[in-house]
Structure 1
Amino acid sequence: MTGEDQQTRGDIRGTVRGSAPAPLSILDLATVGAGHTAAQALAATTDLARSAEQWGYHRFWVAEHHGMPGVASSTPAVLIAHLGAHTSTLRLGSGGVMLPNHAPLAIAEQFGLLEALHPGRIDLGLGRAPGTDQATARALRRGHAEGADDFPEQLAELTHFLDGDFPDGHPYSRLSAVPSGPERPPIWLLGSSGFSAQLAGRLGLPFAFAHHFSATNTVPALELYRSSFRPSAVLAEPYALIGVSAVAVEEGGRPAARRLARSAALGMLRLRRGMPGPIPTPEEAERHLYTPAEAEFIDGWLANVVHGAPGEVADGLEDLRKRTGADELMVTSHIHGHRARLRSYGLIAQAYGLTDRAEPLT
């Protein structure tokens, strides 16, 4: 497949809908809020995916995390297969699979199977971080010496398995990733620093940057990606999306939205201190007695969350898009309560004219 063919199909370049100046997508972590179970969180993610398709979001990614009680998406391939059975047009993908945790052949088989199940709808986003603490990473990689330092080699091996084009004489030249077909999912590189940005540019791959937890690095990383970019059979020119934390509310404006976002900030504070748990309720976040250092962390975290009334969020996202030059925005609302999350995404879609109603259509 040529780069022109892939761009025409929209495998990489998103679809602009409504009045949005760029494609809008969703990153979901199957958020487990305090008082809820993982099963309830996964049911909520399924409901959100169906609603996202109805509203007109372009793609819906889930991320690999381990050992985090507040995140139920430990195995993206399994969850993507489930979501594919409950949607029909929405692009689904990993944001991402942490490649050093897995054998490249296993990922090639998993995503080859997903492509066979849901042809033309699958994205394979790859990260080089473990997505967990070091002890859990060692348990996941038991028997494998590779790690983040070997990411380029692992990526090359995975690509050969997907394309079935190991050179003659390679130890794996007679191996095949099954199932495989005439098309395979496009590979995206994910990152929160310059390493993956530069690698994605050098290989001519699309790049996704985690602005939602590494905002100070966003512009430098995207500039590095573009300056490093070399046209490839995948892309003729750079294509970058950024993940953005966003919370929209119908009433109460920025104070009400900040109240919801603060619960996610407290959850992140606890994670950074080695005390991961479900996402606390807004009431718990309000009751928490913050030390000066904790208050500074919370304020810094919330400064990178686009929040407020729907129009304010749309304006904030557009300001960010212009400042970074991102080709696509992938919003994430990692907050407590399915109804609040669902409402936030619906209001954002409505603000951009993707839909005329913020409630799910079913």
Structure 2
Amino acid sequence: MSSALTSGTAPFALSVLDNAHTAVGQDITEAFDGVIDLAERSEDRGYHRFWMSEHHAMPGAATSSPQLMLARLTAATSTIRLGAGGIMLPNHAPLIIAEQFGMLEALAPGRIDLGLGRAPGTDPGTAAALRRGHDANDHFPSQVDELLRFLADDFPTGHPYENVHAVPGPWQNRENRVPARSSGPQTWILGSSPYSAQLAAHLGRPYAFALQFGDADVESAFRIYRENFQPSEALDEPYTLVSLGVVAHDDAEEAQRQARTAAMAMLRMFKRQSYSLLPPEEVASYPATLQEQQILDLYTRRFLNGTAPQVAAGLEQLHERTEVDEIMLVTMGGSRQVHASTIELIADHYTMGSAD
């Protein structure tokens, strides 16, 4: 098994996911400036794509509308793929999402990804405020189908939405008699279970598996996806991505301290407190019970942390276990500087992009 103790080319594509994490004492405008900076750094260092996620009513995650920040990032970048990882589709009308991502695709042709998930991205009370019913997840496959039809403008004759068209989109191009600059956003299915693997395989779409939330069975999910994959116009063969929380630092102990701030945010969420990123010093002095200590230790380990060679070893071991095509680094830690340092150190380790 590779130890990745020496630098070299990564045996997989590398990407970045930013939750616009905002620690206690950090101004939100400064945090958004940090997101823009991280996207620019990711492009400069040769990462493949930069995604943002959807969360609601969480003071530690300011991405209630990744679409809005992606619109800003289309002007700040020129080559890296930009996307939502993901849009929690049961929170939205499919037509609205088709229109919004049609606009993003028009702003950055051939660079937009649309990752679709079914979790609420928040707590039950906020899910209710989003007008999300208890059976929202049950309708996810039909919502995805509806969205894909809006994006492709291919509702069958007699369908209630036959004459409803997402603009911008293919219909507008035909009506205006102009050639399309792209085939639309690349649509992904997100998840962490056999359910999402089956759906992605059935639809012939790329599949992204979220490991940052828990120790789910990624190997089985990928096996199900690959064995059941049906080629589509969007994708000829299976394509997989794994996302996981990462903190890289020159000092392994400091990387662990920063990862523990994210672990504490998870603990607070489990206790029905706000998902807030507390300062590492405050986390270290917290008088945890035995059960709380176990949760903190679990998530600190789950968020891959250490020096760049140590983190790279973990990434390569994950690749060997899963044969994943792409790994997405979910930046963790109590400051934007730590997030930036993580992607710089990993890029340095794999000699990616410029290092100016």
Query: Same fold by TM-score, threshold 0.5 exceeded?
Result: yes
Q: How far, CA to CA, are the matches of 2:233 and 2:354 in structure 1? A: 39
Pick which of 305-314 and 24-33 moved more. Answer: 305-314
Aligned residue for 1:332, secondary structure, equals: strand
Are the aligned partners of 1:102 and 1:141 in contact in 2 as well (CA < 8 Å)?
Answer: no
Q: Percent of aligned pairs with the same residue?
A: 47
Q: Is residue 2:320 matched to residue 1:322?
A: yes
Residue pairs, 1:1-362, within 5 angstroms: 19-141=9-131, 147-181=136-170, 182=180, 183-250=183-250, 252-253=251-252, 255-355=253-353, 357=355, 361=356
Q: CA deviation at 1:302?
A: 1.9
Q: Which 5+ residue runs of structure 2 have no aligned equivalent? A: 1-7, 171-179
Aligned residue for 2:116, secondary structure, equals: strand
Aligned residue for 1:25, secondary structure, equals: strand
Q: How far, CA to CA, are the matches of 2:99 and 2:302 in structure 1? A: 37
Q: CA deviation at 1:134?
A: 1.8
Aligned residue for 1:233, secondary structure, equals: coil
Aligned residue for 2:96, secondary structure, equals: helix
| Number of residue equivalences | 338
Q: How far, CA to CA, are the matches of 1:30 and 1:257 in structure 2? A: 19
Pick which of 337-346 and 102-111 moved more. Answer: 337-346
Are the aligned partners of 2:20 and 2:63 in contact in 1 as well (CA < 8 Å)?
Answer: yes
Q: How far, CA to CA, are the matches of 2:56 and 2:302 in structure 1? A: 24
Query: RCO greater where, 1 or 2, for CA within 8 Å and sep 6 or more?
Result: 2
Are the aligned partners of 1:100 and 1:146 in contact in 2 as well (CA < 8 Å)?
Answer: no
Are the aligned partners of 2:192 and 2:216 in contact in 1 as well (CA < 8 Å)?
Answer: no
CA gap of 1:205–1:57, structure 2 versus 1, over 3 A, is same
Q: Moved runs in structure 1, 4+ residues, more than 4 A?
A: none
Matched AA of 2:211: H
Pick which of 297-306 and 234-243 moved more. Answer: 297-306
Q: How far, CA to CA, are the matches of 1:286 and 1:159 in structure 2? A: 47
Query: Cα RMSD (Å) of the superposition?
Result: 1.4
Pick which of 68-77 and 37-46 moved more. Answer: 37-46
Matched AA of 2:200: A
Q: How far, CA to CA, are the matches of 1:210 and 1:59 in structure 2? A: 16
Q: CA deviation at 1:321?
A: 0.9
Partner of 1:5: none
Matched AA of 1:118: A
Partner of 1:6: none
Q: Which 5+ residue runs of structure 1 have no aligned equivalent? A: 1-17
How does the TM-score come out when normalised to structure 2?
A: 0.92
Q: How far, CA to CA, are the matches of 1:225 and 1:214 in structure 2? A: 19
Q: CA deviation at 1:334?
A: 2.0
Partner of 1:7: none
